[in-house]
Amino acid sequence: MLSNVFQHKAIMTILGISAFYHDSAAAIVQDGKVIAAAQEERFTRKKHDPAFPTNAVEYCLAYAGKTIDQLDAVVFYDKPLLKFERLLETYYGFSPKGVASFITAIPVWLKEKMFLKKLIRDELKEIQSFDKKKLKLLFPEHHLSHAASAFYPSPYKKAAILTLDGVGEWATASISLGEGKNIKMLKELQFPHSVGLLYSAFTYFLGFKVNSGEYKLMGLAPYGNPDSERVHKFKEIIKTTLIKINDDGSIWLDQKYFNYAVGLRMVYDDKWEELFGFSRRTSESEFEQQHSDLGLAIQEVTEEIIIKLAKHAKEITGAEYLCMAGGVALNCVANGKLQDENIFKEIFIQPAAGDAGGALGAALVAYHLYFEQEREIVPNDAMNGSYLGPEFSDLDVDNTNRKYNAKATHFSDFNELTKEVAKYISEGNAIGWMQGRMEFGPRALGRRSILGDARNPEMQKKLNLKIKYRESFRPFAPSVLAEDVNELFDYDGISPYMLLVHKIHPKIKQEVPINYHELPIREKLYVERSTLPAITHIDFSARIQTVHKETNAEYWNLINEFKKITGVGVVVNTSFNVRGEPIVCSPDDAYRCFMRTEMDYLVIGNYVYKKENQPTWQDADDWKEEFLLD
C-alpha cells in the first residue's frame, strides 16, 4: 500500500473552442487553471479568421502535453441548434422580408452547422486520430461561456456578471450572479434588441467594417463637439426614433430602421439618411464633423445603456463586484465611465472579452459546472497577464535570421539590452518589440508591441501614417509603470489589459485654443494637448495599460530604464502589425512586418535589429495586397 503515496492525482484537462463566426480560438484548462489560449488568426494571418482553429488547437495540445484521447472534454462555446432555431423563427417572423439572406444562410446551416458535432470531430481527426466514442463533446450556451470567461478568472468569490454582445443564440445581454464555483443566469435581453448590434449599425453607417471597426468608431467619437446642438439632436433622434431605453437598461429597437435581422446589411440606408441628414459614409472617404458628431452621440447613448444595466445588476444581485465579457465589454471608454460611477467596488473585464474568449469560458463552464470542480481564487486575476500564447526560442530566431540574411546584435545581458532600447525610444525611434508568450485577446500588452516616445509630438503621426498605415485620427495607448499611474493620469487603480479610458492628470494638460472644439478634425488632431501628446486623445483621455513587474518583468524593466533617461515612466504602445494584419505571432511574422514598414529597430528576445543594417527588402509594399483593409 505504500505505493499509493507515490500515485499522482489525474490532471483534468479540458479544451475549449470557439469557431465559425469570427475570431475563432482555442483554450486549454488544466485543473481549473488557464494554461494556454490563442486566436486562429495569429497562425493563419487572416484577421478575425472564423475557420475551425486547427493551429490554435494544436498549440494548446502541445503546450499541455496532451493528446485528444487524453482530454476529459472538448467544449464548443455555444449551442448551434438554439441559434438555428433563432434564425428560423426570425425569418418566419419577418417574412416575406429576408429572402436573399435566407437563401444565403440556410444552405450553409443545413450543410455544416446543423451537424456541428460531426464537423468538430472531423476537424479534430485532421489534427490527430482519437477514439470518437470516448470523446466527450459539450455545448454550453453562448452567454454562459462569456460569463464564465469573466467570473472564474476574476479575484472575486461573489460578483454580478454582465455580458453584452451582438447576439449569441437568442441572448444579446445577460445578468448573472457568480458565487464560488456556480453561475446563476438571472435575466437576459433577446434578439433582435441588442446594444451590440445597435453600435455595429452605427459602425456600418459611418463607413467602418462591422465586427472589426467598432473600436474605430469609439476612437472617432471624441472628435465630436460635446456642446454642439447637432450632437444633442442626434442623441434625441436615436433615443426617440431608433430605440427605447428602459430604466433597467433593457432596450427596444424599432426594426423598420434596421436590416440585420433578415437582410444582408445592418440598416436601411435611405431611412437613416432621412433621419440624420447625410448619406452613409463610404470606406476610406474623408471624415466630416457630422460623422464624429454622430459617433459621439451613439457612444454616449451606449454608455447610458451600460450604466443602467450595471445599476440593475447591482440591484438584483446585491454583489459588491462586477465582471464583464462580450464584445461590448471591449468599449473601454464606456468601461471608464462605468468605473467612475462607483456602482461597484471593483470591476474585472475579461481581456479576451469577444468571441475568442468564449473558448476559454466554455472550458471553464465544463470544469466548474459540468464536472462540479471547486474554484481556486487567484489574487488580482487568473489570466497570467493574458500572456497565454506561443513563445519562441533563440533557435527559432536564428532560423529566421538565416532565412532572410538578417543582421542582428545578440545581447547576452538582457539588462544591457533594455538600457540600449530605452535610449533608442528616447531618441524618437519606433521599436518593434517581441518577447515571450503572445497575448490572448485583441490588445498588444507588451509582448507583441510597437513602442515609441509618448513625449514626442510627431510620434502619433509617424506610427499611424508610416508604420500602421491607418487613419490619422486613431489614438495610441500609454503603457505606464503601475507605480506611476496616478502621477500621469486621473486614475489610481490598475488597468493591466488596456480596457479602461481615463483622463490625463491635470498637471500634464496644456492649454488649447479657445475655438478648439470648432477646429476641423485634422487641425484639432495636431494640437498639443499635454506633455505626452502621442498618447493624449482629443478629449484629454488615454486608454491606459498599467505594467506590473510581477507579470511582465521585461517590459517593466524597459519602461523603467526609459524613465531613468527621461524622467517619465510611460511609452506609446500599439499592436505589432499593419492595418488589416493580425498581431504578429512568430519571429518570421515580426521580421517581415519590420521590413515592410518604417520601424527603426526590431527587438526579438535578446536580438536587436537596426533597419539600416538589413539587406534590401524586395516586397516592401506587398502587405497591401496580402491583408484586406479592416
Please write the tens of the pLDDT for every residue from 246-270.
999 999 999 999 988 877 789 999 9
Q: Are strands 601-604 and 25-30 parallel, antiparallel or unpaired?
A: unpaired
CA 355, CA 364: separation in Å to the nearest integer? 15
Which comes out higher in pLDDT, residue 625 or 427? 427
In CATH, what is the architecture of 195-349?
2-Layer Sandwich (3.30)
CA 603, CA 249: separation in Å to the nearest integer? 47
Asked if pLDDT for residue 91 goes beyond 60, the answer is no
Asked if pLDDT for residue 1 goes beyond 50, the answer is no
Q: pLDDT-based confidence at 6, cuts 50/70/90?
A: very low
Asked if pLDDT for residue 475 goes beyond 90, the answer is no
User: Do you find a cis peptide bond into 80, omega within 30 degrees of 0?
Assistant: no
User: Given this model, what pLDDT does residue 115 score?
Assistant: 77
Q: In this structure, are residues 434 and 408 in contact, taking their beta carbons and an 8 Å threshold?
A: no
Lowest average pLDDT, out of 148-162, 190-204, 616-630, goes to 616-630
Q: pLDDT-based confidence at 5, cuts 50/70/90?
A: very low
User: Given this model, what pLDDT does residue 627 score?
Assistant: 66
Please write the tens of the pLDDT for every residue from 188-246.
999 999 999 999 999 999 999 998 889 999 999 999 999 899 999 999 999 999 999 99
Asked if pLDDT for residue 77 goes beyond 50, the answer is yes
Residues of the chain with CATH 3.90.870.20: 394-626
Q: In this structure, are residues 149 and 360 in contact, taking their beta carbons and an 8 Å threshold?
A: yes
Q: What number of CA atoms fall less than 13 Å from residue 442's CA on the CB side?
A: 25
| Average of per-residue pLDDT values in the chain | 92
Over range 462-467, report the average pLDDT.
85
Over range 427-447, report the average pLDDT.
97
Please write the tens of the pLDDT for every residue from 482-539.
999 999 999 999 999 999 999 999 999 998 888 887 788 778 877 889 999 999 999 9
Angle (nearest 5°) at CA 25 between 20 and 29 = 130
Q: Tell me, what DSSP letter sits at residue 630?
A: -
Please write the tens of the pLDDT for every residue from 117-132.
889 999 999 999 999 8
The Cα-based distances of 151 to 181, 445, 610 in angstroms read 9, 21, 44
| Amino acid in the structure at residue 202 | F
> What is the topology classification, in CATH, of domain 13-142+355-382?
Nucleotidyltransferase; domain 5 (3.30.420)
Over range 31-50, report the average pLDDT.
97
Q: In this structure, are residues 343 and 175 in contact, taking their beta carbons and an 8 Å threshold?
A: no
Q: pLDDT-based confidence at 86, cuts 50/70/90?
A: low
Where are the strands (E) in 373-413, listed by range? 409-410
The 10 Å Cβ neighbour count of residue 501 is 26
Those residues with Cβ within 8 angstroms of residue 416's Cβ, 6 or more apart along the chain or in another chain: none
What pTM value is reported for the model?
A: 0.94
Residues of the chain with CATH 3.30.420.40: 13-142+355-382, 195-349
Find the DSSP H helices in 98-193: 99-111, 116-127, 142-151
| Amino acid in the structure at residue 531 | T
Those residues with Cβ within 8 angstroms of residue 286's Cβ, 6 or more apart along the chain or in another chain: none
Q: In this structure, are residues 548 and 559 in contact, taking their beta carbons and an 8 Å threshold?
A: no
User: Given this model, what pLDDT does residue 170 score?
Assistant: 86
Asked if pLDDT for residue 97 goes beyond 90, the answer is no
Where are the strands (E) in 217-314, listed by range? 243-245, 251-253
CATH superfamily of domain region 394-626: Carbamoyltransferase, C-terminal domain (3.90.870.20)
User: Given this model, what pLDDT does residue 395 score?
Assistant: 97
Please write the tens of the pLDDT for every residue from 365-418.
999 999 999 999 999 999 999 999 999 999 999 999 999 999 999 999 999 999
Q: Is 276 exposed, middle or buried (0-12, 13-18, 19+ CB in 10 A)?
A: buried
Angle (nearest 5°) at CA 251 between 248 and 256 = 165
The 10 Å Cβ neighbour count of residue 308 is 17
User: Given this model, what pLDDT does residue 265 score?
Assistant: 85
| Amino acid in the structure at residue 123 | E
